[in-house]
Amino acid sequence: MWEVIAREAIRDLVTRYNANGDTGRFAQVVELFADDGVMELTGADGTAQLYKGREQIATIFTGARDRWAGINTERRAPGYIRHSVTTHQIDLIDRTHAKGRAYYQVVMVHGLDHWGRYFDDYEERDGRWVFTHRRVTTEGRSVDSIT
| Residue 61's pLDDT band (cuts 50, 70, 90) | confident
Topology of the domain comprising 2-141: Nuclear Transport Factor 2; Chain: A, (3.10.450)
pTM value is: 0.88
Q: Where are the domains of the chain?
A: 2-141
Spell out the long-range contacts of 118-126 with Cβ–Cβ below 8 A and sequence spacing 24 or more: 118/14, 118/85, 120/14, 121/97, 122/10, 122/13, 122/97, 122/98, 123/34, 123/96, 123/97, 123/98, 124/6, 124/9, 124/95, 124/96, 124/97, 125/34, 125/96
Q: Is the pLDDT of residue 11 over 70?
A: yes
Angstrom distances, CA of residue 12 to CA of 6, 65, 70, 102:
10, 24, 32, 14
> What are the tens digits of pLDDT across the range 28-49?
999 999 999 999 999 888 899 9
> What are the tens digits of pLDDT across the range 76-88?
555 678 999 999 9
Q: Is the pLDDT of residue 130 over 90?
A: yes
Residue 80: its pLDDT value, please? 75
Mean pLDDT for 53-65 is: 84
> What are the tens digits of pLDDT across the range 99-114?
999 999 999 888 899 9
